[in-house]
Amino acid sequence: MNGRKPRVLLVEPDPDLLEILVSGFAGRMDPRITCVDSADSALEVDLGEPHDLVITELRLRRFGGLRLASQLVSAAGFERPVVLLADRISGRRAVETARVGVRDIFIKPFMLSDLLDRAEELLEEYAMHRQFVARYHRMRELVRRVIRERRHLNHRTELICRDLVGAHRRLVHRVLEFEGQMSRQE
Amino acid sequence: MTGTLSASGTLSERTELTLSRLEALPPLPASAARLLGAISSERTSARDLIDIIRSDPAITAGVLRMLRRADLGVADVSIGIERAIPLLGFNRVRQVVLVLQFLSFFDVSGADAEAAALNRDLWKHQLGVAAAAELLASRTPLKAEPSAAFVCGLLHDVGKLALLHVFPRAYLRASRRAENDRICICDAEIEVLGIDHAVAGRRLAERWQLPRAVVECCRMHHLAPGSMPEGLGERSLVEVVHLADVLVRQLRIGFSGYLPVGDAAEVAVRLGLSSETVGEVQEKLPQVLAPLFELVGDGAANGPAFYSESLRRIAREFDDVQRELAEATRRLELKSRALDTLRAYSEHVGPQSPIADICAAAATAIGNLFGQAEAVVAIVPRPGDLVHAGSSPAMTDESKAVVFPVQEAGGALESIRTAGGTNAAVLNRASGGLEPLWHRIRSKTPHLPLWSLDFPPEPCFSGVILVAADESTMAPWGMVSETLTAVTGVLRSAIAAGVERCAADRLSDALIEAQRRDSAVEPERQRRRSLNMIAEMAAGAAHELHNPLAVISGRAQMEQANAEQEDLTRSLQIIVDQAHRASEIVMELMNFARPETPRPCVLMLKDQLERIAQHWRERSEFDAEGIRVEVADPAVFAAADEVQFREVFDSILSNAVAACVPERARIQINSPSRASDETVRIVVTDNGTGMSGYVLDHAFDPFFSHRPAGRGRGLGLSRAYRLAEINGGRMWIDSEPDRGTRVTVEFPARISSIA
């Protein structure tokens, strides 16, 4: 969670472009980068080990970058940042990508520094998001425990009360019995 | 021994039945056989003869009847048989007895009167032939024995007697059939009974073992002398009987079934007799026959009255022939009239005549056919609902051709549409629904009853022929219905050809019109096609360029991070910039090639144009006078994609602004009141440099720009043209050098189903 290296998944069929991206990342931060060239391998790899950021080409053979994006965004249980690289994008398509959950689109050719800035942002955000989520889970867990304890406590209290009430009754009974004995003796 | 021969059995069944019945006839009575045998020999005594006569009461009665004939002068009613031979002669008595024997054998008294009458007539014929044969035999040089000839003549048609005896009703039918339909009696006999009388006679004669001469006569008496087979034993007898048969038929003595025969005199000559001989025999015949007819109960007539019956018969036949001739003449007359009509018709119509004229000529032809009657021909081509009609000339008016919609035909529509179900022309009284049709065409009601004649069925039109005529004119045509069918067939073909030709003309006109329109828009279509081609090519190329450009830019950026010298850094930056610029061009190309699908909405022209003008005023820094907007009717709307609408005018104004000198620029954006209900028109006029003819021709070409290289990319107007087009509008330019430019754009006024 904290302190571990961010894991980045690059889905890009063009090897030249891939090399540029890898060296860009290497220069800036030092993430664990996984490179694949097709959607199927991307899904496979991510299944094994969920990544913190996915950068994918929009035009992928057979599967389509957008579809891949929509699957990856929700695959790990909470929303992961996905960034698209595209030749061009129409207004309508852009709206669609936003709906799917894609965080940004970069039109080729782009300034590498811009892409890396955004990547850093998204990774930080995701890290915080993860922390927050973790904390949230912990809190929920605590709250659950509190509720459980309280229930337990209530239950115990009830038992003790019942015992007390029972004992009291028996006592009263004994007293009455005793009084009775007493009166009979008179 | 009667039975019925049902008309429904097969021929062989009938033959079998007939033959079996014949076989079942009893054998010849012994006395008859004896008599026949004894005819050739003279050894029968008078005594034997008297015995035979006495043995059979019928024979006795018959002989006595003969004896009592008035011309024998026997007044004494109690005369006895013994007087017969002296009075009549031995031979004659012998013959008479023979006749009586056969008469009683073939007794048809049990059957009905018609059969009895036929029987009597047949016997009269046989007796006639017997007598004639006897007379001829004694004259012929061929050496035929007279008494043998008598017997042969008597029995030559015994087959008929036998068949009548065995199946009276069937034989009556056969003889009637032969008479009515003029077919040979032998053929009729075969048709009804399975065999003819020659075969029946021969079989019977053979069974009874009659003399050979009789057998041969039975079989061959019909054959002409020349065609008799060789090796005939009693050839001369057969020939004599044949001649006698011909003679008796010619004289119509008795009845013998229909059989066309030649002239007796000719046959006689062929046999070696002279025609005078025949004449002599003819004269003697009544004398000989009168007493013999007594035997069959019909001896009253003699002398001239003998032939009265024959004459009656001849007269009847003559009447029949005359009647047939008259009918045939009438039929021929009608047919020749039909031919004349058709010839006249074909002279009046040519290959280019309109349908209604063809109908008029047809009506005239039909009118002539029915004796200058008033006629109307109306047809409805399929598909369609116009009636083409023509009428024949009448006394006061000429032949007319009219065309009118089907509704005006009154209730006749259904009649016309469904008429003509059969292939044969049917002439009927016209149904009442057709009168309004007549009225519409001739403008008056018919004075005579209306008749309708249907056309044979025809896929390309349906029609009807109407004639006004009385019953007597129309009745004879029932005889020659095939002629009528032929006439209507010819007319139908002519009309069908006319209808098809009209349809073909219409089609060819439509084709010519389409072609003309097509060639008019050809240049426009050329331009659009080349534009599309370029666009597709550009899109394809552009597609591939993005990645290489990204790699160029990315690499340069990477190197920039490592570069230390300022020069190198600057160079690398230039590389990055140019790569990005290249990408922009590519983007523009792709946008041009594949513009987004327009989403039309209703735009208020005034608003939109004002906004565009304002934008360009700011951008160009022209004053308010420099760019002006004038919209005639504020309530004018256009239907187009908003962004694309703006882009079109951006391109136009960009060019306009570039063309004008800033201080004196006058750019006018007008929208006059609607060009039409479907489109709105906007005109942008400027007073700039204008375009030369060459530039104007290429104004819409992609990448064509007359501005210095490096500024603008030459896609603006092309893109504007394309955008206008995909929004359902169009665009064109008028320009002259130094006189300014006018760009006109049209957009649809309504959001309709724009493809």
Tens of pLDDT, residue by residue over A81-91, are 888 888 777 77
pTM of full prediction above 0.80: no
Q: What is the DSSP string of B300-320?
A: ---GGGGGHHHHHHHHHHHHH
**Helix/strand/coil (H, E, C) string of B509-567?**
HHHHHHHHHHHHCHHHHHHHHHHHHHHHHHHHHHHHHHHHHHHHHHHHHHHHHHCCCHH
Under 8 Å between Cβ of B393 and B361: no
pLDDT of the residue at B754: 45
Q: Name the pLDDT band for B498 (thresholds 50, 70, 90).
A: confident
Highest mean predicted confidence (pLDDT) among A15-29, B304-318, B515-529: A15-29
Q: What is the DSSP string of A33-54?
A: EEEESSHHHHHHHHHHS--SEE
Evaluate if residue B108 carries a pLDDT over 70. no
Q: A59 touching B, CB under 8 A?
A: no
- DSSP code at position B228: S
Evaluate if residue B755 carries a pLDDT over 50. no
Evaluate if residue B462 carries a pLDDT over 60. yes
Q: What's the CA dihedral at A131, A134, A139, A142 to 10 degrees?
A: -140
Q: What percent of chain B has pLDDT over 90?
A: 6
pLDDT-wise least confident of A32-36, B151-155, B711-715: B711-715
Where are the alpha helices (H) located in B349-449, listed in sequence order? Answer: 355-369, 412-418, 435-442
pLDDT of the residue at A1: 43
pLDDT tens track for A7-16? 999 999 989 9
Q: B593 touching A, CB under 8 A?
A: no
Chain B: closest CA distance from residue A53 (Å): 20
- The answer for B288, left when phi > 0, alpha when psi is -120 to 50, beta otherwise, is alpha
Dihedral sign, Cα of residue B690, residue B694, residue B697, residue B699? negative
Considering only residues 180 to 209 of chain B, which have any Cβ-Cβ distance to chain A shorter than 8 Å? none
> Which of A87, A90, A109 is the closest to B554 by Cβ?
A109
Peptide bond into B446 cis (omega under 30): no
| B549 chain-A contacts, CB cut-off 8 A | 108-109
Chain B: closest CA distance from residue A91 (Å): 10
The tokens 């210095």 sit on which residue?
B708
Question: Cβ of B557 and A113 within 8 Å?
Answer: yes
Cα gap A113→A19, rounded to integer Å: 15
With CA atoms as reference, the chain B residue closest to A18 would be B551
With CA atoms as reference, the chain B residue closest to A24 would be B558
Cα gap B221→B157, rounded to integer Å: 9
The CA-based diameter of chain B, rounded to the nearest angstrom, is 184
pLDDT tens track for B735-749? 988 888 999 999 988
Under 8 Å between Cβ of A49 and A7: yes
| B552 chain-A contacts, CB cut-off 8 A | 109
Span A16-44, mean pLDDT?
90
Q: Name the pLDDT band for B75 (thresholds 50, 70, 90).
A: low
Please give the interface size between A and B, counted as residue pairs whose CB atoms are below 8 Å apart: 57
Span B171-176, mean pLDDT?
88
pLDDT-wise least confident of A139-153, B41-55, B281-295, B330-344: B41-55
Span B578-597, mean pLDDT?
81
The tokens 């190198």 sit on which residue?
B568
Q: B529 touching A, CB under 8 A?
A: no
DSSP, collapsed to helix, strand or coil, labels residue B4 as coil
Question: Cβ of B576 and A87 within 8 Å?
Answer: no
| Interface probe, candidates A23, A60, A87, A105, chain B, greatest B C-beta count within 10 A | A87
CA distances from B256 to B201, B213, B251 (A): 14, 21, 12
